[in-house]
Chain A
């Protein structure tokens, strides 16, 4: 045992704490992507939306001194990105995957362009709730200091899981996602539904970005995201388009991402950079394990281009 009191137990504790801290953006992006993909469209541009959301949230928080206004502004900006994606993809012969890559580039470009003046000033942070107040150990206190957005994300996952099954909106979304023809036969306009679903997805992804810049790591710079927006796309496939699955998969990813820093904190520094690759490796392994060349994935929306 060393001076910090918990010694090697610090690793699982740090992974647990890290899973909660790191997973929050994954939760929001993957829930957003789940809504979009349920409607039969895929938005790879969420990486750009996430980074742009992070920038807008930070900028608005610096100017207004209110982090929650920053989150709202990010949501609005994310919805705009989603609307743009949804609008362009409505036209025939336009490839939604390619448009997603282009939107990602534009989102990153705009975020870096407009965010340049906000690299220096400090923004007020989003509040966290100290669930660890009962403990004397600072590690446990730190680990249980849980941000409000994580709890909102967890509640949202539960709500979406319920809403997909039990509400009229959820049914419409699923019908449109499974077959454009069936939706038209029911008198629904698939394009409108997909437009709204993509906008909602964008707004949620931008919340993930706001969490990055306003809580953890809690600053705005050009390297703020390292592919969370894209990994979320893989995560949704792994979670079989199920919101509860998205939440659990996000926790798993967060844990994988926290493993490297946790090991480093107890002195394991060999191969440190390889641990950075852990979440990507995990994503890839999961994708390989859950894909199949012959049958479409269980639970996949029929109109989704990525699973065809």
Chain B
């Protein structure tokens, strides 16, 4: 009796492998996106190196400069982190709707209007209210305007069937025209001569740095937003419903999910984050709303989101990487005499290769535990 029971519980080598199997399966499924993305980045870098070599410059020297400019010193790391801060939020603006199968590319519009809204609400309050209260109102104004702007594309998508990609981009152009109108007209500070802008925030009202670093609080806000978004998608019923609707709208509707509310809610939340990014740029970097708000953070955010495969946690390292590449642009320009668009070429190349490598998903048996048995 006891011997038999023992032989059942005695761990054999086979049994041990059997216990490991769930872990290996988990590992294989997780390894697929990581391996394919890394592979894609390597191919992208190789193509970009060929391009640089073709125009007679050394790709190795370029990559060394990129590393030095982005991550070589504590100073450059802080610079990269500062640039990553708005990217975290604009990438969320692309990644959240993407979970529903929507390609929203107009984050730039929410960024510029969020910045203008933040400045517009802060200026009358300055002097009368303590800085934290002003920041709170700025953040709320920026988020509200951003939510309206991107939420509108969701609303149009669901109620009118308007393609969200084109609508969001058109709205971005309209937003930039609106910003120019406001900072040239009603909100213009007469003292801003060459570069029209709103009146500057007094230094006390500028959003400061994270203690111990020369990086503004926007980085912390961005990271918190990414973690919160990840929890929302992975651990709430709202996020679960979104993932179902993103997989198959018909199935979601048959399940009784309110697809319209999901679409409008997710796009509005996405816009909140992009609008917040604009407000933080005003409060922490620019000090006023001006044309520099349209610096392309919305467009780089698209690349960050796609690189991270729309996973909010993966956005954090990718945004820091892209922030570093952005930060190294100036150094490349000065040291190698290459145009500042070098970074754009690299980003475009990486973007295309990464999208192309989507085709490799599910092709390799090693990443798909369901196919292991057949091969064995």
Contact = CB atoms under 8 A, between A and B. Distances in A.
Interface of A: 44, 84, 88, 91-95, 97-99, 101-103, 105-110, 112-113, 116, 226-227, 230-231, 233-234, 237, 271-274, 276-277, 280-281, 283-284, 287-288, 291-294, 306-307
Nearest to B357: A94
A274 B355 CA distance: 36
Contact of B178 (A105, A277, A306, A307): A277
Interface in B161-208: 161-163, 165-167, 169-171, 173-174, 177-178, 180-181, 184-185
B12 interface: no
B351 A102 contact: yes
Contacts of B184: 272-273
Nearest to A271: B181
A234 B168 CA distance: 12
The 10 closest A-B pairs by CB, nearest first: A106-B348, A109-B344, A112-B341, A277-B177, A293-B161, A102-B351, A273-B181, A109-B345, A91-B359, A105-B348
B170 A234 contact: yes
Given A95-B355, A280-B173, A287-B167, A292 B348 contact: no
12 contacts: A88-B355, A92-B359, A93-B358, A93-B361, A94-B359, A97-B103, A102-B306, A105-B299, A109-B341, A113-B338, A280-B170, A281-B174
A292 B336 CA distance: 52
A291 B162 contact: yes
A233 B168 CA distance: 13
Interface string B124-167: 00000000000000000000000000000000101111110111
Contacts of B343: 109
A120 to B, nearest CB: 14
A61 B165 CA distance: 35
B358 A231 contact: no
Contacts of B339: 112-113, 116
Contacts, number: 142
Given A109-B341, A280-B173, A102 B348 contact: yes
A226 B355 contact: no
Contacts of B342: 113
B352 A88 contact: yes
Instruction: Specify which of B162, B185, B347 lies most central, judged by the most chain A CB atoms within 10 Å of its CB.
Output: B162
A101 B105 contact: yes
Contact of A93 (B105, B341, B359): B359
Interface in B319-350: 338-349
Contacts of B165: 44, 97, 101, 306
Contacts of B177: 273-274, 276-277, 280
Interface of B: 103, 105, 156, 158-163, 165-167, 169-171, 173-174, 177-178, 180-181, 184-185, 299, 302-303, 306, 338-349, 351-352, 355-356, 358-359, 361-362
B159 A293 contact: yes
B342 to A, nearest CB: 6
Given A94-B355, A113-B339, A234-B170, A105 B347 contact: yes
A214 to B, nearest CB: 21
A17 B343 CA distance: 39
Contacts of A106: 345, 348-349, 351-352
Given A112-B339, A277-B177, A292 B161 contact: yes
A226 B156 CA distance: 23
Contacts of B355: 88, 94-95, 98-99, 102
Contacts of B356: 88, 91, 94, 99
A266 to B, nearest CB: 19
A304 B39 CA distance: 31
Most central of B103, B169, B302, B346 by chain A CB within 10 Å? B169
B267 to A, nearest CB: 15
Contacts of B302: 101
A294 B160 CA distance: 8
A288 B173 contact: no
A230 B340 CA distance: 24
A226 B172 CA distance: 11
Contact of B170 (A101, A102, A108, A283): A283
B160 A293 contact: yes
Contacts of A231: 170
B340 to A, nearest CB: 8
Given A237-B163, A283-B170, A288-B162, 9 more contacts: A91-B356, A92-B359, A98-B306, A109-B347, A110-B341, A230-B170, A273-B185, A280-B177, A294-B161
Contact of A287 (B166, B173, B359): B166
A227 B167 CA distance: 12
B341 A226 contact: no
Contact of B171 (A93, A109, A284, A292): A284
A234 B174 contact: no
Contacts of B340: 112
A233 B166 contact: yes
A227 B345 contact: no
